Amino acid sequence: MIDYVNQLEQLDQIGGPSNVSISEVATSDEIRPFCWVRDFQEMQGQYDDPTVQAVLENMTFIDQLNFALSDKVIREVYG
C-alpha cells in the first residue's frame, strides 16, 4: 500500500515530485501530503529502545493503531 501512496504522491494532480525522499521523514520546511500509512510506519520506527520495538512488533494491528492514536498530535490529525 505504501508504494501505491508514494506513486500517487508523485502525480501532478496531487502535488508532483517533492524534494522529500519517499523513504525519509520530512523536516519542518518540507511539505508532504498527510498519509496515515506512511505516518504509521514512521511511528513504528521512531523508537530506539529495543524493548519498545519488541512490544510494538508483538501487538496486533488494532493495538498498534490504538497506541498511535493515543498520541495527541496523531489523534488530532487522523482521529
User: Tens of pLDDT along 10-31?
Assistant: 777 766 655 455 555 555 555 6
Task: Give the model's pLDDT for residue 17.
Answer: 58
Cell numbers for 57: 512488533
Number of domains in the chain: 1
Is there a contact between 53 and 47 (Cβ–Cβ < 8 Å)?
A: yes
| Domain housing 51 | 2-78
Q: Which spans in the chain are helix H?
A: 2-9, 36-45, 50-58, 61-69, 72-78
Residue ranges in the chain modelled with pLDDT below 50: 19
pLDDT number for residue 29 = 54
Closest CA relative to residue 22, chosen from 43, 49, 41: 41
Check residue 65 and give its pLDDT.
Answer: 87
